[in-house]
Chains A and B, each alone.
Chain A
Amino acid sequence: MSMTETHAPSEQQAETEALLDVRNIEVIYNSVILVLKGVSLQVPKGGITALLGGNGAGKTTALKAISNLLKSERGEVTKGQILYRGERVQDLVPSELVKRGVIQVMEGRHCFEHLTIEENLMTGAYTRRDGRARVEEDLDLVYTYFPRLKERRRSQAGYTSGGEQQMCAIGRALMSRPETILLDEPSMGLAPQLVEEIFGIVKDLNEREGVSFLLAEQNTNVALRFAHRGYILESGRIVMDGAAADLRENPDVKEFYLGMSDEGRKSFRDTRSYRRRKRWLS
């Protein structure tokens, strides 16, 4: 399935152990709408893995399938397996998964509007049983990564800016002491330099705190700069995957996802045939 066989040396070590292993899953909404048609992907320990694709490709669905948030939207994993550290996790409730170290930051941030920033962060520690002192320590840690949140700790989240809300959502997830964060479209609706800032923090968290990320993004360009590996999802199927550096250089990715073209394939027909070819390959 892999389109690229070469891996940059820096990715080698990140790939030693697959924390999260999604095997050929199919997801159906409302018992009729088939959205994921056999998706497989691995998230290695200590890496940032990007899941790329356009609107409606199924990125959010894939993330929710993993975090088990599908059920409350009447979605269901009907085929395939989801393993975390080799253990089947798809029948667990979300809180169990959070306790095992997997937490999702939802698309559109979803802060608790009427709670203050600090209260929002504290809800992230809901499942923890390791005592107040530890939680306070982590709160300080979150504030060192997001100094802006500290300034706004007493503001109602609903009245903070989009960027602050995104930071709040990530900070809230951090408060659960996660091993893996499923981060859904953090760049959504944010100014480019804010996107850079947030991705920079994600990278720091990854390198210094050892948090692994599965990052769903439409913004292929930024995501591939910060990620180690990438998967490209199209209409519910993975059509390509490989090291981020390779994907960035791949002519097809350049053309269809990065908006660059060096081969001059512009016509609609070419696109179509390319897409069809990719689907059969996957």
Chain B
Amino acid sequence: MPDQVLFALEVTINGLMAGVLYALVALGFVLIFKASGIFNYAQGVMALFAALTLVGIMEGQVPFEHLINATFGTGIHGFGWQVPAILAIVLTVVVMVIFAWVVNWLVLRHLVGQEPIILFMATIGLAYFLEGLGDMMWGSDIRTLDVGLPQGINTLVDQVTFDAFGYGLFIDNLDISATIIAIVLVAALVAFSQYTKEGRALRAVADDHQAALSVGISLNFIWVLTWSIAGFVALVAGIVWGAKSGVQFSLSLIALKALPVLMLGGFTSIPGAIVGGLIIGVGEKLFEFWVGPLVGGATENWFAYVLALVFLVFRPQGLFGERIIERV
């Protein structure tokens, strides 16, 4: 096989892996948007916050350490223990559920029936608040996150492809784990929403929340549930991205990567988020690979948006946007 094709294949596979991550972030948006019609600007910051919390707990950091020390003149420096990754993840999930509950209790509950733009504004406020809270609780240093996911080149793929084509494909183990995690997560979400009573209620609320109220579904409960799930998805995204490039402020910017994915896949479609993520991941990498050199590179910053815009013009509801059913 000619080298060009092999390179392209490698680029495509890496693009797919990146796409999985975009899809993960986009998924968090879709979940909340479907259930409550809110475009949750804070989704990216939630991923950052979740990752920070996870690192903090794993390293036995005392929350609000700086604040406590500054206020009481103490010199606390960590609990002095390490928490195993699994336990830390469980604790972080608990924190995200509490966060969901607090958001609902303090903010969303009071905004029932308001215009979407008002809810959107509320989530912008929330994003900045959460960013500050993350800083205060866990400090603003760049952290490394290692929950034990395998890293580095996958030697098996390398070996097999080398034997077959005389060129070893470079595929990162972390990307493979991310893909597996994403698949499991999506399968779990689908099973939950299709086969459980709460999942059905969640879809009912997404369709018509007045009617959901009328049959006795509690919107508050469903919202806390959705935000908790979105928090969990954010945590997963945070873990994977954090493992890849460290836990730092820029993690919250992955939300910006999710936007074109949503434009492409539709705001209400879980398959859309996944396929959209993959298309953008692959498209971006291939474009950079072929066209990038001709225009001086750095196309990855804008390619996704252009692609999304083109889509928006021809198919405003996105690839998989739910068909709007006309009422008889």
The chain A residues found within 8 Å of chain B, CB to CB, are 67, 69, 71-74, 93-95, 97-99, 103-106, 108, 110-115, 119-120, 122-124, 126-127, 156, 158-159, 161-162, 165, 172-173, 176, 189
Q: Are A119 and B214 in contact (CB under 8 A)?
A: no
Top 4 closest pairs, chain A to chain B, by CB: A98-B216, A158-B325, A110-B211, A95-B216
Main secondary structure of the interface of B (DSSP, over half): helix
CB contacts (< 8 Å) of A93 on chain B: these are 218
B113 within 8 A of A: yes
Bitwise, B195-213 to A at CB < 8 A (1) or not (0) is 0010011011011111111
How far apart sit A108 and B328, CA to CA, in the bound complex (Å)? 10
A103: contacting residue among B112, B201, B215, B322, CB under 8 A = B215
Q: How large is the interface on B (under 10, 10 to 19, 20 to 34, 35 or more residues)?
A: 20 to 34
Query: If the complex has contacts A158-B325, A165-B328, are A112 and B213 also in contact, measured as CB distance less than 8 A?
Result: no
Q: Are A113 and B207 in contact (CB under 8 A)?
A: yes
CB contacts (< 8 Å) of A176 on chain B: these are 215-216
How far apart sit A280 and B140, CA to CA, in the bound complex (Å)? 71
Shortest Cβ distance from A262 into chain B, in angstroms? 38
How far apart sit A103 and B210, CA to CA, in the bound complex (Å)? 13
Shortest Cβ distance from A144 into chain B, in angstroms? 21
Q: Using CB atoms, name the residue of chain B closest to A172.
A: B215
Q: Using CB atoms, name the residue of chain B closest to A175.
A: B215
Q: Are A98 and B215 in contact (CB under 8 A)?
A: yes
A67: contacting residue among B200, B214, B325, B327, CB under 8 A = B214
Q: Are A112 and B211 in contact (CB under 8 A)?
A: yes
Query: If the complex has contacts A74-B113, A161-B328, are A126 and B210 also in contact, measured as CB distance less than 8 A?
Result: no
How far apart sit A116 and B112, CA to CA, in the bound complex (Å)? 27
Interchain Cβ contacts under 8 Å between A and B, 19 examples:
A69-B210, A71-B112, A72-B219, A94-B213, A94-B214, A94-B216, A99-B216, A110-B210, A110-B214, A112-B212, A114-B322, A119-B200, A120-B204, A122-B200, A123-B200, A124-B215, A126-B197, A126-B216, A127-B215
Shortest Cβ distance from B206 into chain A, in angstroms? 8
Q: Are A111 and B211 in contact (CB under 8 A)?
A: yes
B217 within 8 A of A: yes
Q: Are B113 and A126 in contact (CB under 8 A)?
A: no
How far apart sit A67 and B166, CA to CA, in the bound complex (Å)? 72
